[in-house]
Structure 1
């Protein structure tokens, strides 16, 4: 179990005893993926649950015009690839690494067995699925009829929540990993590259973003304040 001690605790494991976490860890199969690898892709069987231990993963879909759309960027501690979905049990998205990643895998049989033996684990799973759903709704509401600047701010705050949960509430700054490009930000915010670049410069001048060149540092308290003002 020593191999898990350096890993940020996922919300799905919070509140469980060390013994219960140990039983879950014993079921987890660890896989290492190089940068750019697909963990799963479109129409794959949706029969495994993933927990990101290290690295950054993007969840993507393909638009009718054939362009890639980034739906989420995920950081360590994130649960993804939920297979609790109605209809055909096939993947409707793809998950690709943006840097070398270590991922824990649980099969459907593993998950059902753990829920039966550790009911609290089942409750945590339901809570995490609900949290992800509410976060998606909040982000969607933040995008509807919003200005380009607001969409970019919502995207930055969403990234911060995924990469370092609680960082905004603690008044921290967050340096975006170098693998997250301005193109990714533009894609997630529904902006073109030129507009995103212009707004990033505006937000630098307004104290929301720091860093030089391609480095982006989000000053989360200022970002939250500006988001509240930009209604």
Structure 2
């Protein structure tokens, strides 16, 4: 999909999974890699397709989701630059369970299953790194299940807005601006909320002086008060 030449080894060197590799080892993996460009709305893969690679997002945003027969969607994960996806599926005999779609123009480096398995045989330490990545994905999945089970919709939305804020810091961070990477409807689906409820909570938080909303930018006016807001 991407015709011009590219330096896959350079891209691999910027990824934590391959950071400890020598240049020769990265070049070996790079030979089994492909850089692909996707336009907004393009499918990276469909559920049911055979998994023959896992993928790194170089730039852009990818949505992993399930779809029902009546067209309803549930966003499972949003994958941004520096993140990867489909590692776990690559080790299973089953096909992809999720759909993967580019939400904006995206550059994705796909590392073939064959290249990964060859590297595991050569370098046992690599398999430990792969397991670590899969374990982190599984941990995020468990946190999602805990969130859906124990938190109400407002708490989930507040948690999303505060996900990158260090609430333990002694200094008051002042006003914090959160730029939503995708549409509000997509984030609502990721949080298992309806778009209507998502908008209603934003309006309520804004009316109570906790946030200011300007399209996809949300200014958090008092992060500590916001963190306490959904707990009572």
Give the Cα separation in 2 of the matches to 1:130 and 1:146: 23
Task: Give 1:163's aligned residue.
Answer: none
Q: What SS does the aligned partner of 1:42 have?
A: coil
How large is the RMSD of aligned CA atoms in angstroms?
3.3
Deviations 1:201-231 (A, max 9, x none): 233456765451x222465992797179728
Q: Retained in 2: the 8 A contact 1:55–1:75?
A: yes
Give the Cα separation in 2 of the matches to 1:149 and 1:36: 29
Structure 1 portions without partners, runs of 5+:
161-166
Match of 1:194 among 185, 193, 196: 196
Give the Cα separation in 1 of the matches to 2:177 and 2:137: 23
Q: Does 1:97 align with 2:102?
A: yes
Change in 2 beyond 3 A, CA 1:229/1:151:
closer
Deviations 1:28-72 (A, max 9, x none): 210111110000002100221111111000001023654111111
> Could you say which structure has the larger radius of gyration?
2
Q: What SS does the aligned partner of 2:51 have?
A: coil
Change in 2 beyond 3 A, CA 1:4/1:203:
farther
Q: Retained in 1: the 8 A contact 2:54–2:90?
A: no
Task: Give 2:180's aligned residue.
Answer: 176
Paired residues in the alignment total 219
Give the Cα separation in 2 of the matches to 1:125 and 1:28: 16
TM-score by length of 1: 0.78
Give the Cα separation in 1 of the matches to 2:151 and 2:201: 14
Task: Give 1:10's aligned residue.
Answer: 15
